[in-house]
Amino acid sequence: MTYLPSDSNAEPKRSIGFLLLNNFTMMSLASAVEVLRMANQLSGEELYSWYTITLDGEPISASDGIRITPDASIQTCPKLEVVMVAGGIDVSSSYGKEHIAWLKTMERQDCLIGGMCTGAYLLAEAGLLDGYECSIHWEYLASLQEHFPKVHCTNRLFSIDRDRMTCSGGTVPLDMMLYMIKQEHGFLLSSAISEMFICDRMRDENDRQKIPLRHVLGTAQPKLIEVVSLMEANIEEVLGMDELAKYVNLSRRQLERLFQKHLQCSPSRYYLKLRLLRARQLLKQSTRPIVDIAIICGFASTAHFSKCYREQMGIPPSEERASENKKYEDNVARSMTFTAIKVPILSTSQRSLAVDAFSKSKTEATFGSVSLKD
């Protein structure tokens, strides 16, 4: 669904409320809001409004200790089209029955419901993720799976499933909002926003979180964690298996058994996979020649690199690069033929901070630099 204002003086059309839980992650909130602000600035139109909301309208502390005075309480907030729950640390102790009741009310009003960082935990508690795919910060992934078996958990950076949007923490809300903007207003606007924030690339819902091995294994296997860390630090200059074993005072045979028991593969296979994953990142995120990528990832020849890559990824490196280029060209083509769907002006009795931000942005050189019209 696409939203474009018919009157530049009108209140923004896509009204988004951020429900802040105690100890929410400031980085996640800022990553989401700044994308919306830049969408308005670059388009020269008030495409989005945003409101911060707390249970009672009182100031609330982020996990870094900074206190935020919200725009409204759950009782006084304006009409919303999207509700995003901003979670953080100790999320299971950060909400109550009132939060759950309000979110269920918003869902009945056909709001798109989402969660950032650990916000999905509250949505799962409210039963709003039953039967939905969901992303959450990797620290809470196992807990969410255990406590809410009806939720389809993934380790993707973000998941958009029908009328639910969930993402992991850090800067990932930026990627999720860019994806939403691309769907609603086209690739040209989302890519221009990405450039303004100096993002190397726009990650999509197929990108996955890298879950630290120490989180998977705990602290019981320090030697295994140390060997994997050595592998990750030596991608170009590949270390031999005997050398790796010597670093952690193990025999090669002991090292092999350790990997088979806990990672279900040999050390050399695991090392190769790490190098190929690094190669895949470079193929998708850079314009380096394939021969350079092969060297950077520790391969003696392009032919050997291509053979290993095809066996692991299912396609040769040249096709991986070509598919990424085609994806970019297709996005541009779709944006050039993008047609906006007008919707009724959102009526709200409350002034969004987006209005003031939009007024200030008019002095910026980039104001209105991206056209959304044919």
Q: How far is CA 238 from CA 12, 206, 235, 247, in A?
A: 54, 29, 6, 14
For residue 344, what pLDDT is reported?
35
Q: What is the Cα 63 distance to its own chain's centre?
A: 19
For residue 330, what pLDDT is reported?
54
User: Which residues have C-beta within 8 Å of that of residue 274, sequence separation ≥ 6?
Assistant: 231, 232, 235
Residue 114 structural domain: 14-209+339-361
For residue 147, what pLDDT is reported?
84
In a domain, 372, yes or no: no
Q: What stretches in the chain show pLDDT beneath 50?
A: 1-12, 332, 334-349
In a domain, 8, yes or no: no
User: Helix or strand or coil: residue 154?
Assistant: strand
Structure-token pair, residue 169: 């923490």
Return the amino acid letter for 317.
Answer: P
- 235 and 353 inside one domain: no
Whichever domain contains 204, its CATH number is 3.40.50.880
Describe the chain by its helix, strand, coil percentages, rounded to 5.
Answer: 45, 15, 40
Measure the N-to-C terminal CA separation of the chain; round to a whole number of Å.
18
Alpha carbons 348 and 84: distance in angstroms, whole number: 18
* pLDDT tens for each residue of 128-174: 999 999 988 887 876 787 788 899 888 888 899 999 999 988 889 99
- 21 and 113 inside one domain: yes
In a domain, 370, yes or no: no
- 243 and 321 inside one domain: yes
Q: What is the sign, positive or negative, of the torsion defined by CA atoms of 116, 284, 37, 7?
A: negative
- 108 and 238 inside one domain: no
- 188 and 231 inside one domain: no
- 271 and 124 inside one domain: no
Whichever domain contains 239, its CATH number is 1.10.10.60
In a domain, 73, yes or no: yes
Rg (CA), the chain: 23
Neighbours of 365 (CB within 10 A): 5
For residue 346, what pLDDT is reported?
39
In a domain, 6, yes or no: no
- 235 and 306 inside one domain: yes
For residue 200, what pLDDT is reported?
73
- 163 and 237 inside one domain: no
User: Helix or strand or coil: residue 189?
Assistant: helix
Which secondary-structure segment (H or E) carries 73?
strand 72-73
* pLDDT tens for each residue of 276-331: 988 887 887 678 899 999 999 999 999 999 999 999 888 899 888 876 655 555 55
Total number of domains in the chain = 2
- 242 and 272 inside one domain: yes
User: Which residues have C-beta within 8 Å of that of residue 131, sequence separation ≥ 6?
Assistant: 150, 152
- 192 and 243 inside one domain: no
- 180 and 45 inside one domain: yes
Alpha carbons 194 and 192: distance in angstroms, whole number: 5
In a domain, 332, yes or no: no
Structure-token pair, residue 167: 């993402």
In a domain, 177, yes or no: yes
In a domain, 159, yes or no: yes
For residue 338, what pLDDT is reported?
42
For residue 298, what pLDDT is reported?
92
For residue 68, what pLDDT is reported?
92
- 66 and 189 inside one domain: yes
